[in-house]
């Protein structure tokens, strides 16, 4: 059974890792989503990511704007966990796409789509799961093979034109499912891939240096995607293990960057009957928590009420409750998710919707009162690529 879940996780688990948004000219006013196509042997042997413009108005839709070539000829048929992240640098938005087969992070400028390069961790030739996160001036990537003791977290400094330079590194005991950087830029929270129930946290210091505080044994068997609250006080993580119904864990983040008290909700149907809460995403106003089922069986997106708790309490008591709202998808597998607008409930929700063999992105309107989702006409929208789309990032991101 664990091998079954590992296979699913290799296609869909994460974390979301998009960077901060700051107002400014040019690209900051655009609205788009970038999808890691996670494809093989496409575009004459090249793997790709797809940029889709969000067209708002009377008939909201997604339209393919650009196909990004993430690497050279692919001679391997092995898939993996690929991710995508973005960060603003001056007038440009930098797009970072993980390519585990090439064991590299491909970096592009937006809106020119000029490729800055493919960035490898020295000495690593192939990566089992390449998780990517970005915030501010740094990009974080996991490199290595979970069958070997050679796993590492690399930290790259973002330079002019979205070029990357290796700034720091830290050894880790396993490859990663997902990771996220706290909005204050001080903490990196990671979820391991094969170490049962384990997660970890690192303080981020000068020049991107990492100081480990864990690992920690989670409150459930297979933690999946991770998100972090706007005040950097809590990490929110989905449970991906079978047979749990929608289950969420919330860990407090201590002042030194460690993980403290954990609160576990659901698993018994009280948060709905999705199986395997792989991806989690907080609305910009933190009123709602959106969760995708990654079991490949139920295929639903669930809306939960989120309450961080009283700020007057030494830790606060965060809670999640069921809104009663969910939407079903006909896709073969659901993946990552992100809100389209950077304020309120987020306006619309992007969701990866893999429909074998075609990559698609679903677009749902969000009811600002109750968080309920409704598919817009024409959803899901095709990327034009074949592949198991599992990870996406939206621009502009939330303000945290």
> What is the per-residue pLDDT for 113?
96
The string of pLDDT tens digits covering residues 130-153 is 889 999 999 999 887 645 567 889
Catalogue all structural domains in the chain, each as residue range(s) with its CATH number: 2-395 (2.130.10.10)
CA–CA separation, 102 vs 126, rounded Å? 6
Q: Would strands 129-130 and 81-82 be described as parallel, antiparallel, or unpaired?
A: parallel
> What is the per-residue pLDDT for 156?
96
3-state DSSP: the chain helix, strand, coil percent, rounded to 5? 5, 50, 45
Beta bridge partners, 334, equal 353
Cα torsion at 336, 340, 344, 347 (round to 10°)?
A: -100
> What is the per-residue pLDDT for 243?
62
Buried/exposed code over 228-259 (b: 16+ C-beta within 10 A; e: otherwise): bbbebbbbbbbbbbbebbbbbbbbbbeeebbb
The residue behind tokens 């067209």 is: 55
Work out the percent of the chain whose per-residue pLDDT is above 70. 83
Average pLDDT, integer, range 323-343:
92
CA–CA separation, 130 vs 193, rounded Å? 11
The string of pLDDT tens digits covering residues 240-282 is 876 679 999 999 999 999 999 899 999 899 999 988 888 999 9
The residue behind tokens 């749990």 is: 244
pTM summary value: 0.89
Mean pLDDT of the chain: 84
The string of pLDDT tens digits covering residues 182-202 is 999 999 999 987 766 689 999
The sign of the torsion formed by the CA atoms of 250, 99, 112, 92 equals positive
Reply yes or no on whether the pLDDT at 108 is more than 90.
Answer: yes
The string of pLDDT tens digits covering residues 28-65 is 579 999 999 887 655 556 788 999 999 998 899 999 99
Reply yes or no on whether the pLDDT at 15 is more than 50.
Answer: no
């Amino acid at each position: 059974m664990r091998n079954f879940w590992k296979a699913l996780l290799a296609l869909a688990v994460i974390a979301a890792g998009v960077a901060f948004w700051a107002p400014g000219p040019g690209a900051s006013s655009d609205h788009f989503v970038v999808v890691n196509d996670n494809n093989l042997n496409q575009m004459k042997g090249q793997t790709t990511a797809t940029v889709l413009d969000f067209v708002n108005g009377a008939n909201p839709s997604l339209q393919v704007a650009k196909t990004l070539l993430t690497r050279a000829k692919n001679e391997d048929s092995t898939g993996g966990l690929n991710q995508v992240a973005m960060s603003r640098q001056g007038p440009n938005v930098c797009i970072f796409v993980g390519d585990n087969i090439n064991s590299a992070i491909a970096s592009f400028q937006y809106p020119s789509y000029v490729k800055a390069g493919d960035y490898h961790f020295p000495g690593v030739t192939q990566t089992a799961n390449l998780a990517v996160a970005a915030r501010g001036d740094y990009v974080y990537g996991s490199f290595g093979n979970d069958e070997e003791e050679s796993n590492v977290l690399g930290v790259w400094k973002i330079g002019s034109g979205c070029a990357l330079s290796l700034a720091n590194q830290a050894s880790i005991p396993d490859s990663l499912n997902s990771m996220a950087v706290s909005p204050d830029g001080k903490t990196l929270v990671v979820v391991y891939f094969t170490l049962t129930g384990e997660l970890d946290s690192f303080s981020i210091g000068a020049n991107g240096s990492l100081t480990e505080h864990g690992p920690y044994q989670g409150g459930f068997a297979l933690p999946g995607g991770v998100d972090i609250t706007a005040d950097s006080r809590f990490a929110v993580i989905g449970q991906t293990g079978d047979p749990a119904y929608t289950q969420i864990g919330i860990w407090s983040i201590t002042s030194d960057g460690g993980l403290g008290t954990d609160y576990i909700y659901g698993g018994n149907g009280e948060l709905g009957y999705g199986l395997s809460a792989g991806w989690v995403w907080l609305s910009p106003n933190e009123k709602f928590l959106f969760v995708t089922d990654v079991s490949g069986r139920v295929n639903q997106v669930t809306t939960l009420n989120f309450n961080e708790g009283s700020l007057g309490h030494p830790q606060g008591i965060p809670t999640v409750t069921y809104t009663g709202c969910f939407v079903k998808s006909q896709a073969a597998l659901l993946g990552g998710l992100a809100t389209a607008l950077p304020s309120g409930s987020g306006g619309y929700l992007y969701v990866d919707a893999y429909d074998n063999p075609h990559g698609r992105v679903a677009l749902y309107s969000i009811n600002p009162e109750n968080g309920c989702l409704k598919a817009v006409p024409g959803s899901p929208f095709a990327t034009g690529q074949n592949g198991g789309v599992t990870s996406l990032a939206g621009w502009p991101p939330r303000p945290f």
